[in-house]
């Protein structure tokens, strides 16, 4: 494998980092936790990675038994998926998301690629890990300018998200762009989040809109249209 990190220090943590600690490796795992993807899907989702580095990371992860490639004779596309060993990294990725929100949050830098689905996955993970609840089941539809549409669901016990606008009529529809949404999630105060809410369009029953906004720590809520 092409490695820059060899610790020569026996410890399970050091050994794990030798296998998955290379730049981009855990982010490839993060994206494949959503399901099998093609090279072009991964390249698009990872933003700043180059085709060369993605090829190297996939090769390393295959050799480590974390990723497997589905190649068929005569089929141009190669699909990549996690092995059982790779799927066992899910709690690691989730813990990093929660730690990042608690201790390393910041707004996106100018020109920094933003993947709306990554932000929703991290938000859902955080809410489940921290036991954040609503008073009753709810569905929110988040419509990003230029796509995609994403649904956030609280079923009374657990948070989840899904791609697309299908399903029951949402309790609240949020229309925004990816940068405003991420700045809203990463804001460090109620006032800063309220400022981002003002840049969004929220529609639905007043009580449902107010509960959504309050659930993110914004005092006073926000009126529905």
Consecutive H or E run containing 183: helix 178-186
Say if residue 65 is in the same domain as residue 145. no
Say if residue 138 is in the same domain as residue 77. no
Say if residue 70 is in the same domain as residue 157. no
Q: Which residue range is the domain that position 31 belongs to?
A: 12-88
Say if residue 132 is in the same domain as residue 50. no
Say if residue 28 is in the same domain as residue 68. yes
Asked if the structure places residue 206 within a domain, the reply is yes
Asked if the structure places residue 99 within a domain, the reply is no
Specify the CATH number for the domain of residue 155. 3.30.1050.10
Number of structural domains, the chain?
2
Asked if the structure places residue 173 within a domain, the reply is yes
162-168, long-range: CB < 8 A, 24+ apart: 163/117, 165/141, 167/139, 168/139
Q: Per residue of the chain (225 residues), give pLDDT as tens.
A: 445 578 888 899 998 999 999 999 999 999 999 999 999 999 998 988 999 999 999 999 999 999 999 988 777 889 999 999 999 999 999 999 999 999 999 989 998 889 999 999 999 999 999 999 999 999 999 999 988 899 999 999 999 999 987 777 999 999 999 999 999 999 988 999 999 999 999 999 999 999 999 999 997 554 443
């Amino acid at each position: 494998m092409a490695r820059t990190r060899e610790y020569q220090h026996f410890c399970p943590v050091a050994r794990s980092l030798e296998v998955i600690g290379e730049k981009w490796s855990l982010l490839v795992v993060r994206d494949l936790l959503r399901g099998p993807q093609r090279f072009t899907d991964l390249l698009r989702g990872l933003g700043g990675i180059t085709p060369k580095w993605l090829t190297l990371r996939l090769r390393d992860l295959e050799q480590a038994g974390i990723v497997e490639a589905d190649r068929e004779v005569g089929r141009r596309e190669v699909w990549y998926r996690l092995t059982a060993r790779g799927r066992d990294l899910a709690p690691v990725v989730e813990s990093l998301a929660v730690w990042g929100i608690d201790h390393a949050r910041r707004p996106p830098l100018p020109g920094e690629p933003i993947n709306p689905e990554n932000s929703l996955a991290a938000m859902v993970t955080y809410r489940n890990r921290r036991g954040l609840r609503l008073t009753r089941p709810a569905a929110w539809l988040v419509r990003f300018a230029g796509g995609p549409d994403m649904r956030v669901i609280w079923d009374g016990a657990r948070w989840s998200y899904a791609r697309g606008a299908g399903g029951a009529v949402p309790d609240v529809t949020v229309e925004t762009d990816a940068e405003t949404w991420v700045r809203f999630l990463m804001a460090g105060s109620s006032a800063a989040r309220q400022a981002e809410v003002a840049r969004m369009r929220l529609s639905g029953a007043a009580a449902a809109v107010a509960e959504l906004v309050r659930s993110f720590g914004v005092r006073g809520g926000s009126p529905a249209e």
